[in-house]
Amino acid sequence: ASKVGTDILKKGGNAVDASVAVQFVLSVVLPIAGNIGGGGFLVYRSADGQYDALDYREKAPGKATEMMYLDKEGNPITDLSLFGQLAAGVPGTVDGMVKAHEKYGKLSWEELIQPAIDLAEKGFPITAAQAEEFTYSYKNFEKWNAEGTAFTEKKEWKKGDVLIQKELAETLKLIQKNGRKGFYEGKTADLIVNEMKSGNGIISLEDLKNYESIWRTPVTGNYKDLKIISMPPPSSGGIALISLLHSVENYPLKKWGFQKDSTVQVMVEAERRVYADRAEYLGDPDFYKVPQNELIQKENSISRMINFSFNHATPSSEISASQFNPKEKEETTHYSIVDKDGNAVSVTTTLNGGFGSFVVVKGAGFILNNEMDDFSVKPGSPNMYGLVGGKANAIQPHKRMLSSMTPTILEKNGKLFMVVGTPGGSTIITSVFQTILNVVEFDMNMQEAVAAPRFHHQWLPDEVFIDKTAISDSDRNILTEKGYKLTERSPWGRVDGILMKDDGSMEGGADPRGDDFVSGF
């Protein structure tokens, strides 16, 4: 996908052209997260400093109800929002790419889709990580696809095995020929609805035909001499990221040092408070009045930190949401692109869980998302990432579910400085937060910043999750004595970023936690 993006730039395409080509190629070569059956967010900055944000997040089907995943006693039914046809929201990716290309693209639509068609038709050798993912997921694919799929061609996959996806190639050809109608109407739409009927799904032809992605105004804020440009609701990412940066801005992080006890403590306490606000106030702005301006006011973030003490951890039970008067799985993927003229695109896109709902649309060859789990299935009950939500993110027909995706672009002194983002479900926001600080406060280059070990707190559960190599033993002991519960877990996120150097050159960073790759010329 990275190579295809570079090829498009070499042909004279701009950053948006490259992002469209990369998105469709990822739907072929990264089926665990790259998609045409899911959705995402795109943040754009033109070379002359104009901003835009495209929301192509999935929507709840028209027949969705607030109680659809609850039993008679009102308790969430395990896995109903995670697996099978009922877990899928109306996909937004294809419409999003069409709209991005219509507004900003230079090269022809047909040219941008062709690399994905070729890779689906001819196949590509899978990586060692993919072999493990396909083998591990065989039973789920078998369970939800009675007649088999390209992913059940083998029970045990090995590195170098060639994955061929003929049905997906035919679907991509329809999109290439007919644009959005090649997906949301005609043969592909019929296949999606037939897939719904084969299980308990509720996406209709009308849902598909009426889906529209939306251009929104990016959320912006400042951290010292940087301007942050990020995704607004229904993503919680931009608001949360800006709130986090505001919360720690007045503390001497650089003086304390990378992952020293005081640094970690301040960042964790900021995360605890920001995620409490996320649970209470964030949802689809077309359905709920999100107090966006209040949440990103610097004064609010500073006041939220007043009751923090260096002597001990603040229990999450003592932290509630800010007081105003208004009334997601980790296998997402991200790419950052800057073209030769300085146009920049930051895109995060997902099926939600790894391989989404595990439903491959029969005859069309693509995987449907399980994005409905990102709603508050029951306000106060955690989703698959342990995130708790409230009424702001309750299920309603045609509503977009809340997301943590945080595609972000930074300026310094009015010039492009950084493009960054990551997959990682609930950990996305804190991973982007730490990566920015790694560069700005701890003098890391882009590769060092994305590769550095990470930690994460999300209000509930009241634990600090840490990479095995994060935080020294001595600092862990200090934090534990102050009441922080530190829990080691497997590495998360795949941060990818581009940093603009003082001499005008670009420096890419690709997270070694994944099969990520830097490509340029």
How many whole angstroms separate alpha carbon 272 and alpha carbon 261? 16
Angle, alpha carbons 154-159-165 (nearest 5°):
50
Pick the catalytic residue from 188, 263, 332, 348: 332
Residue 333 parent element (H or E): strand 333-338
In angstroms, how far apart are the furthest CA atoms of the chain? 64
- Please name the helix (run of DSSP H) or strand (run of DSSP E) that holds residue 215, with its range, or none: strand 214-216
Task: Tell me if 296 sits within 8 A of 219, measured CB to CB.
Answer: yes
Task: Give phi and psi for 18, each to the nearest 5.
Answer: -65, -40
Judged by DSSP in three states, 517 sits in coil
* Cβ contact 66:396 at 8 Å: yes
| CA nearest neighbour of 424 among 408, 444, 403 | 403
Q: Is 487 a catalytic residue?
A: no
* Contact assessment for residue 208 and residue 184, using Cβ atoms and an 8 Å cutoff: yes
Among residues 279, 326, 270, 330, the alpha carbon closest in space to that of 300 is found at 270
How many other C-beta atoms lie within 10 A of the C-beta of residue 393? 32
Q: How would you write 140-154 as a 3-class SS string?
A: HHHHHCCCCCHHHCC
Give the residue numbers annotated as catalytic, written as ranges: 332
